[in-house]
Structure 1
Amino acid sequence: EDIKILIENESSVLDDFRARILTNHPMASFKLSLRTTDDNKRKFQSQATFKSDNNGVIDLNTQAPISGNYTSVDSNGLFWSMSSHDNKEQMFIKQTSAPLTFIMEVYSDSDRLLKVFTFTRCFLLKDIEILPVNETIVGTLYYPKNKTSLPAIVLLGGSDGSVHESSAALLATQGYAVLALAYFGKKGLPKGIENIPLEYVERSFNFLESKSFVNNKKFGIIGHSRGSELALLYASKHSRIRSVIAVAPSAIVFSGMLNFQATSQPAWTYKGEPFRFYTPERSFKDTVSFFRHLILKKPFSNIEKMKQIINDEDKLKPFKIPIQEIQAPIMFISGTDDHVQPAELFVKQMQHTLRDHKYSENNKFLFYKGAGHFSAFPANLSNLPQTLGTTNFNMTMIFGGTKENNAKAAQQTWAETIRFLKTTLANSHKS
């Protein structure tokens, strides 16, 4: 078959996917399959059936599939609609900034393979420097070459142990020095989120300050999930921070975590003292519910229990993060279908707390309808397979959202992040 695929080869993952398939068969059905692997070598794939136009062309940018994993006109639909090869709900893990390789296959209506095409999508531009750091801190620094007076950002992941190098690389292309910082789970660091000192984050900013190309008056911090706790706590104690972004955040300090289980240890300390923390109580009824889901292999969500917990604001008052002490504008991002923690309710509580905040005119509170815990930048990018949950030992933990809603939230939060950082860190630098 003389089939041609016209595609932008080395495009950024942020770019809309532009592809046309020249089939030479007008008004005929063809199945497109797309597959890739994540950092853990887990396979993901999607498929959709298209009908070629009068000229025998399939244009992914203007045509909707007639069936498949998605059905709307969306040039990125084959990417965000991908699912794990084993048909179980799985996290798509893409922390590194190495390019992603995709394989597109074109099949006839009778499932005969007609064409195979391989292409890559990138997180890095060629003018971005990469500096692995393994000294008093652990992480990776990304920054534009031959630039000076760069605003600098520390990027913190959540309890899944993410070190968001891929997102740091993309932010660096916008003119920032970005440190994707690990604070547990790596060699030389605590195994879990236990007794993490704010001084560790301070060392990361001292490291950035030591770089001649960094403007030490333009520091920002971004945290996702438990990382947002750390980001907000750090910013409340350090006036050098000029911009704070908290994604899928908590309004209170929770206890430590090890292997995704709450522990009796503090998560965070400052000057040798632990922050007061709340440990979610687990009743006998909760335990029975969990094991019932496990035995019946039913997807499990803890969100209703969490919502009950945070309704008692008086009980949680001693554990609140002192966000009113933050001397910088803050942007909060949450999905309305977060099944890990009630981030939407937390953000609304913090919105109320900050009504008289010094920077209230610049603070932003963003809510994404039907989006889950792993829906927003930096934990998610729109043109990648979307994470709705994870399956271990036949037990699926639900994180929330739909693939389409999460992809939309990722796209919009990337744009909002860039806009907020430009406003708060004044993205200007000397060449």
Structure 2
Amino acid sequence: MERGTRSVVRDRDVCRRHGVVGVLVEPRSQARCAVVVLGGAEGGLHEADAVALAQEGFAALALAYFGSPGVPSSLVDIPLEYVFRALDLLSARGYASGSIGLLGGSRGGELALLVGSHDERVGSVVSVVGSGVVTAGIDYAAGRLDRILATSGAAWTVAGRRLPHLPYVVPPELVRSIERDEPVSLRDAFAALPTGDELEAISIPVERVRGGVLMVSAGDDGSWDCVGLSEVAAGRLRAADHPYPWAHVVLEGVGHTIAGPPGGPVAPYGPGPGVTFRYGGDPVLTADARAETWRRTVGFLRYTLPRETADEA
């Protein structure tokens, strides 16, 4: 167990004992609810986000599910059961069913909605620039971006079954941009959303979440159409007359990099596999939106997660 800064305590050993890669960050005073923090397609561990949540009074488990030692190197065939083990850990720590939240950014937002729709212990889900549709995996071993897009299969599995997903496309203009070393918008590599039964097959059943759902989308997202992808989930919640608080907030003019606490990078461009990605959005607006999204996230988690433990109720 490690002493952290500003009244938080970090524990990696408890994660190892439960068979997950992560760090549990708790405030020194007893937390009443807990949040699992899930990063995006960059992989790795979002420990700083967990620390920021712990400083707000939550227990926070930063969970690595790929891209770190001890977990797969690529976003391919990741079992949802792995995240369920993180919920087992928090349950063992005394966080009751309904007092556990999920916070994910980008592909982590997609994963948060998926896990919340499969595990009734989840009482709140926040998906920032995420997706209400299951999308394809990312096999970084394939090399350059166009080869990754052409070869990647499923991102997620449940009970050993690969989940159906929206496929990638590799338009010729995208390949030309890569070969010219020009910045690319990854959103150009996603197939158009289908309709009817085909859309139903890849949509996340978010109406099954036994708690609140907040989705925050960037109106000028260069990484994917998070507005349209999240609106699929909003439509399901609307159609089901979801009995818990929910919202889909669209922040116009901002880019993909609004997930996480304020102060993180909001550059309009960033590195990718053999490419430079265009994240979109005005940098000043995006920085402001990042701060606003964090305020909304913390406020929503406080509003939707129980304010007292089972022993206190």
TM-score (normalised: structure 2) = 0.86
Are 1:343 and 2:226 matched, yes or no?
yes
Residue number in structure 2 paired with 1:281: 169
How do 1:88-127 residues align onto structure 2 when only pairs under 5 Å count? Answer: 125-127=5-7
- 8 Å contact kept, 2:77–2:137: yes
Q: Distance in 1 between matches of 2:244 and 2:125?
A: 14
More RCO (CA 8 Å, sep 6+) = 2
Question: How far apart are residue 125 of structure 1 and its match?
Answer: 4.1
Residue number in structure 1 paired with 2:247: 364
Give the secondary-structure state (helix, strand or coil) at the position aligned to 1:265. Answer: coil
Question: How far apart are residue 305 of structure 1 and its match?
Answer: 5.2
Within the candidate set 228, 232, 238, 2:113 is matched to: 232
Q: Distance in 2 between matches of 1:243 and 1:229?
A: 14
Number of residue equivalences: 298
- 8 Å contact kept, 1:293–1:395: no
- 8 Å contact kept, 1:236–1:326: yes
How do 1:258-297 residues align onto structure 2 when only pairs under 5 Å count? Answer: 258-259=139-140, 261-262=148-149, 263-282=151-170, 286=171, 288-297=172-181
Question: How far apart are residue 298 of structure 1 and its match?
Answer: 2.5
The verdict on how the C-alpha distance between 1:236 and 1:216 changes in structure 2, with shifts beyond 3 A counting, is closer
Are 1:252 and 2:133 matched, yes or no?
yes
Q: Distance in 2 between matches of 1:384 and 1:224?
A: 13
Q: Distance in 1 between matches of 2:299 and 2:40?
A: 23
Output the amino acid matched with 1:197: P
Question: How far apart are residue 198 of structure 1 and its match?
Answer: 1.3
Are 1:387 and 2:271 matched, yes or no?
no
Output the amino acid matched with 2:70: G
Q: Distance in 1 between matches of 2:44 and 2:251?
A: 22
The verdict on how the C-alpha distance between 1:352 and 1:403 changes in structure 2, with shifts beyond 3 A counting, is same
- 8 Å contact kept, 1:421–1:427: no
Within the candidate set 94, 98, 102, 1:221 is matched to: 102
Question: How far apart are residue 232 of structure 1 and its match?
Answer: 1.2
Structure with a larger share of its residues in strand: 1
How do 1:156-195 residues align onto structure 2 when only pairs under 5 Å count? Answer: 156-195=38-77
Question: How far apart are residue 382 of structure 1 and its match?
Answer: 2.9
Give the secondary-structure state (helix, strand or coil) at the position aligned to 1:405. Answer: helix
Give the secondary-structure state (helix, strand or coil) at the position aligned to 1:154. Answer: strand
Question: How far apart are residue 409 of structure 1 and its match?
Answer: 0.8
Residue number in structure 1 paired with 2:11: 131
- 8 Å contact kept, 1:223–1:229: yes
| 1:62-86 Cα shifts (integer Å, max 9, x gaps) | xxxxxxxxxxxxxxxxxxxxxxxxx
Output the amino acid matched with 2:66: F
Output the amino acid matched with 1:199: E
Are 1:354 and 2:234 matched, yes or no?
no
- 8 Å contact kept, 1:251–1:346: yes
Question: How far apart are residue 318 of structure 1 and its match?
Answer: 1.8
The verdict on how the C-alpha distance between 1:206 and 1:324 changes in structure 2, with shifts beyond 3 A counting, is same
Residue number in structure 1 paired with 2:257: 374
Q: Distance in 1 between matches of 2:248 and 2:217?
A: 8
The verdict on how the C-alpha distance between 1:237 and 1:294 changes in structure 2, with shifts beyond 3 A counting, is closer
Unaligned runs of 5+ in 2: none
Give the secondary-structure state (helix, strand or coil) at the position aligned to 2:199. Answer: helix
Output the amino acid matched with 2:111: L
Output the amino acid matched with 1:183: Y
Residue number in structure 2 paired with 1:111: none
Residue number in structure 2 paired with 1:197: 79
The verdict on how the C-alpha distance between 1:139 and 1:361 changes in structure 2, with shifts beyond 3 A counting, is closer
Give the secondary-structure state (helix, strand or coil) at the position aligned to 2:137. Answer: strand
The verdict on how the C-alpha distance between 1:391 and 1:273 changes in structure 2, with shifts beyond 3 A counting, is closer
- 8 Å contact kept, 1:175–1:427: no
Question: How far apart are residue 415 of structure 1 and its match?
Answer: 1.0
Output the amino acid matched with 2:262: S
- 8 Å contact kept, 1:154–1:178: yes
Q: CA RMSD in A?
A: 2.5
Give the secondary-structure state (helix, strand or coil) at the position aligned to 1:266. Answer: coil
Unaligned runs of 5+ in 1: 1-97, 99-123
Q: Which of these two proteins has the greater Rg computed from alpha carbons?
A: 1
Output the amino acid matched with 1:318: A
The verdict on how the C-alpha distance between 1:295 and 1:199 changes in structure 2, with shifts beyond 3 A counting, is closer
Structure with a larger share of its residues in helix: 2
